Amino acid sequence: MIEALPGEGVPGEQILGELRELRRADLPTHGGRLFAYVYDPALDGLDDLARAAYAISAHVNGLDPTAFPSLLAMENALVGAAATLLNGGGPAVGSVTSGGTESLILAVKAARDSRPELTTPRLVIPSTGHAAFAKAAHYLRVALDVVPVGADLRADPAAMAAAITGDTVLVAASAPSYAHGVVDPIPALAAAAAERGVRFHVDACFGGWVLPYLRRLGADLPEFDFAVPGVTSISVDLHKYAYAPKGVSILLHRDEALRRPQYFAYAGWPGYTMINPVISSTRSGGPIAAAVATLRSIGDNGYLQLAGRTREAVAILAAAVEATDGVRLFTPPETSVVCLTADDPAVDLFVLADELAVRGWHTQPQMSFAELPATIHLTVTAAVRATAGEFAADLAAAVAAARARGPVVLPEALLAAAGALTPEMVTPELVAGLAEGLGLGGGDFTRMAAVNSLLDVTPPALREALLTGFLSLLQRPAPATE
């Protein structure tokens, strides 16, 4: 536990030691064995550079670019680089946001506010669209129309077109989707939206900085950017495959007029007139300077090489999955995601994820959804090229161990109790009791198979309530000690 406000200040060296000690509990952000949350190019010296750049601009405030022209220059440079990479150079404009979710919220806001006459603006997405679209719809009171994807896990252009109504302000799709790493058929979808005069957003938050390079390397991937007529906006996260430290995404619009309703302006109070392109008003220049340093240090050729390493790592991991009895690729990997599932009832995927973690491979289990089975997701970055060769043996051992342990069998009483629960019945006491019963009380999250199995059979609304309750349990200060 760390005391944030001691009576007397504490020496810097001691504080840094405490922070390092705290970090020891985290998953490893470097080393090519964590397949979610972090993106590692494994380039010597890059972290130090980004840190130094961050420090230079940490106290610069993005609230007013006329006061801090350094930030304006850096933001324009980042937006320009993204626009060029995504074939929007020239008329395309954009904003630097804090992350993919903020970029998507703002894309939806701009679309909504471009049609002020509508009382029920609507957003159309495929069922594989990122959860941040649901968050945007929720925050902005835009109705969400979710269209099932086809058997190939891609948005279905005919079904998406059929979902467009006179109230639709935005149609969106992914390039690629997070869960499976597949690219939606952007040209057909954008054409359908354009035909109805509706904005079309490409969520390239995840892959927007690696897809252009994979295409340059010869990967058979469809066009997905401003080269496609009808694409009106694109989001791309620099804190993903551009390998910048956390806190930077770009939202691009094809032209200035499309961006205009993204701004919020308010002069109706006695203080300064607030004009914000993004959700935050005061914001640090640190992440933006770190992103500029990262892009300039790696450069276009560097990104091409990193994409090449990522591609090789994907191929090695995919071959390991194919060579292992008991698991199979859920879909052929076409970008930077390897997604696998079990093909033997004796192999419980959630037990397998635990067994991989025990062997130092931290993957992301994905619950079953509609007709889709549970899967394990691996976000592959360039750092994985160095470790990928060790994966096959550990995967085989983990599958054997999962077989030996057998599938999770949840106690009948627990299943019955969970089956009778509704989201309204989820109280803090119930969540605390459940967490204790499932062994989560001590803060050790390495053996999660039982928890995941229970969540997997829990309807989405109840799962949301349980996990909200659990996070709320975690996110509170320790009781004060005398």
Ligand X SMILES: Cc1ncc(COP(=O)(O)O)c(C=O)c1O
Q: List residues near ligand X by CB under 6 A.
A: 99-101, 104, 130, 132, 174, 178, 203, 205-206, 237, 249
Cβ nearer to ligand X, comparing 103 with 458 = 103
CB nearer ligand X, residue 249 or residue 310? 249
Smallest gap from residue 249 Cβ to ligand X (A): 6
User: Per-residue b/e over 451-466, b at no fewer than 16 CB within 10 Å?
Assistant: bbbbbbebeeebbebb
Give me the least distance between CB of 445 and ligand X, in Å please: 20
CA-closest candidate to residue 247, choices 465, 450, 50, 43: 50
Q: How far is the CB of 177 from ligand X (least distance, A)?
A: 6
Nearest approach, Cβ of residue 362 and ligand X (Å)? 16
Least distance (Å) from ligand X to the CB of residue 446?
A: 23
Q: Closer to ligand X at the Cβ: 172 or 450?
A: 172
Question: CB of residue 437 vs ligand X: minimum separation in angstroms?
Answer: 31
**In the complex, minimum distance from the CB of residue 368 to ligand X, in angstroms, rounded to a whole number:** 20
106 vs 449 by CB, closer to ligand X: 106
Indicate the residue among 202 and 292 with the shorter CB distance to ligand X.
Answer: 202
Closer residue to ligand X in complex, CB, 42/179: 179
- For the bound state, the minimum distance from the C-beta of residue 130 to ligand X, rounded and expressed in Å, comes to 4
Residue 101 or 458 having the CB closest to ligand X:
101
CB of 179 to ligand X, least distance (A): 9
CB of 173 to ligand X, least distance (A): 10
Is 54 or 206 the residue whose CB approaches ligand X more closely? Answer: 206
By C-beta, is 203 or 348 nearer to ligand X? 203
Q: Which residue is nearest to ligand X (CB)?
A: 100
By beta-carbon proximity to ligand X, the closer residue of 103 and 168 is 103
The 3-class SS string of the chain reads CCCCCCCCCCCHHHHHHHHHHHHCCCCCCCCCCECCCCCCCCCCCHHHHHHHHHHHHCCCECCCCCCCHHHHHHHHHHHHHHHHHCCCCCCCEEEEECCHHHHHHHHHHHHHHCCCCCCCCEEEEECCCCHHHHHHHHHHCCEEEEECCCCCCCCCHHHHHHHCCCCEEEEEEECCCCCCCCCCCHHHHHHHHHHCCCEEEEECCCCCCCHHHHHHCCCCCCCCCCCCCCCCEEEEECCCCCCCCCCCEEEEECCHHHHHHHCEEECCCCCCCEEECCCCCCCECHHHHHHHHHHHHHHHHHHHHHHHHHHHHHHHHHHHHHCCCCEEECCCCCCCEEEEEECCCCCCHHHHHHHHHHCCCECEEECCECCECCEEEEECCCCHHHHHHHHHHHHHHHHHHHHHHCCCCCCHHHHHHHHHCCHHHCCHHHHHHHHHHCCCCCCCCCCCHHHHHHHHCCCHHHHHHHHHHHHHHHCCCCCCCC
Which residue is associated with the tokens 């159309």?
Answer: 124
